[in-house]
Amino acid sequence: MFSETAIMFLRTYQQNIVERWHQLAEVNLKPDFVAGEWFTYETMDRLFDQVIDAFERRVYRELNRTIENLVRARETPSPLDVKSLLDLFARAAVEEFELREESLRDSRQIRADLTAIGRVLKQVYSERLCPQLLDVLKDHAEDLRERWLRDLPTPRISDHFSLLSDDDRQVFVDSTMAIYDAILRGREGDTAPHPNEPEKTCTLYEAWVIKQVNYFTPKGFGVIDLLKAVEHLSMLLEPLVARATAHDLWVYRVSLLLLDDARDMLARGLAEAYVDRFSRSFYGEVGIMLHRIKNKLTSVPTTMHTVLAVADEEYGQMFDPMILTIEEAELWVQYDQLVQAVLAAVAAVDPAAPSAEQLAALNTARETLDAFTAEHGDRVEMIRTMKLDVANAEIISEMLNIVYEGGVQTQQLTQDLQVRMNEMYERETPKWESLDIGDLITAAADEASVDARAKDINFVVDNQANGLQIYGIKREIGRPFVQMIDNAIKYTPAGGDVMVALVPDGPDHVLFRVKDTGIGIPPGEEEQVFSLCERCSNAKDFAGGTGTGLYHDRITVMHHNGEMWCESPGLNQGSVFYVRLPIHRDGIDVKAA
């Protein structure tokens, strides 16, 4: 079963491996277990011999007897400690191998065999510890599955599951029951394709965790609801196990311990992965928004350096500012005053009979102006021809508009970021409830009607909800409807059309649609409108957008198990935005109602 080189390695370095095994056990196992009389180097050395003999000769009688005695010993706090001890055997062997890997022949084969020995030990003794539990799980699988599916979309676990389709709930129950079975058999470490990277592999346990996080995170499931759903199997199994093991209290106790251990393993791994995914997503959003803020702010000093010619610490002021400095403004005012004085003196001269006093005043004004221009003429001419030039003023206006737009965008992005941070800091427990979607659309349309009238837009609302309910968080799911209507009005020219419709979409869904005659969406940019901090190329001429609204709106819709998308024939041909949500009937499955 295992290569001679692997067995030889274990025999050769037995002393080192046993010492390492003993040390690992002292650190990782419960103090009461380690304090037992049997927990000595000599006892573990004999156990090591039995493990190697069992795999070498394929005779497990002595090893089984020793393990059985350890499991049932009065000084053993829990059978799980023995299971952990066997796990540490494989770990100690692998760690010793890794120290000597470069000097060993057939090292790849040895590593594979050591890993397999650990896996087989775990499988064999996992099944030996809980045969009755495995039988109960197998014999009652269909009944457990039906009861689990029945309880999922109810307050007993979470009404949130009522948003899922029958097929998706069945996939969750079947996959979770399968991973429970794998853990109880010690096979959770078996190889499986990686859900996110098909060219790689991972363990069955890791694959299950990743799949659940991939599926439930975008749908906005709270980790508590998900853990309740995962742990529900142990609640359903317990009375069945109690009846099956009523004749033997010890077997009942061991079965529950192993069931609880499997439940805790799944709950712990799922919670850690869920929180990690949420954190990565949140900090990813924050990072993108901060990057966009940085880019917007970068244009401000660059532009103002050009306009104001701010002095550099290393090179000083290298060129004149594009705008009038205070000194230049004062100089121009002086020049203008002298010019006005000359013009006034000219106007005061009587053309028919100029007096000596009038001519003297005119000469004095001209001499003063000439003296000023002799000293400052070049500077005055530069101000006239460059800084007061219309083309220069247009350039400055354009550059200052860049600064202004950057400032506005930065302000809005900062506000969006602050709102996002506040939502995290002051996060309230979301209140999921049945909501009349017709009321939500009416409220959104009423709010937007003022803006529509101001632009003389033909604003039509066709609400065919007829009391249809959705299941959601009121303060969140209302925002996408408001945003979609506001955007349609914003990007539609005065006198255009905006049509809002809410209609049933088959027996299980309701469809919200906003159609406009606005600027449309350039071909290939339909998904860009839903990206964080991104806007369509033709929307950038409209001030006031940060590219965060529709991104968060789609996430909100996905959290409610819905879809959000858009269509457009092209530029200046309008667009249509859609939201499709499942109908809710008080936690009862739609198809069964």
Q: Cα torsion for 51, 57, 59, 63, to the nearest 10°?
A: -10
The CATH classification number of 134-282 equals: 1.10.490
Q: Are 264 and 385 in contact (CB under 8 A)?
A: no
The structure tokens 């022949």 sit at 105
Full 3-state SS string of 420-484: HHHHHHCCCCCCEEEEEHHHHHHHHHHHHHHHHHHCCCEEEEEECCCCCEEEEEHHHHHHHHHHH
- How many other β-carbons are positioned within 10 Å of the β-carbon of residue 506? 10
Q: C-alpha angle with apex 170: 167 to 175, nearest 5 degrees?
A: 125
The region, left, alpha or beta by phi > 0 then psi within -120 to 50, assigned to residue 572 is left
Q: Are 82 and 124 in contact (CB under 8 A)?
A: no
Show the tokens assigned to 313. 């610490």
| Predicted structure pTM score | 0.70
Would you give per-residue pLDDT tens digits along the chain (593 residues)? 678 888 999 999 999 999 999 999 999 988 888 888 888 889 899 989 988 888 888 777 888 888 878 877 777 778 888 888 888 998 999 999 999 888 888 888 999 888 888 888 888 787 777 888 999 999 999 999 999 999 999 888 988 898 898 999 999 999 999 999 999 988 898 899 999 998 999 999 999 999 999 999 888 888 899 999 999 999 999 999 999 998 888 889 888 988 999 999 999 999 999 888 888 877 777 777 777 777 777 777 777 777 777 666 555 565 678 887 888 889 999 999 999 999 999 999 888 888 989 889 989 999 999 999 999 989 898 888 888 888 888 888 887 877 777 777 777 777 777 776 666 655 556 778 899 999 999 999 998 888 899 899 999 999 998 889 999 888 889 889 998 998 899 889 999 999 999 999 988 899 999 999 988 888 888 888 887 767 776 666 665 566 677 888 998 899 898 999 999 988 888 999 999 999 987 644 333 33
The CATH classification number of 432-592 equals: 3.30.565.10
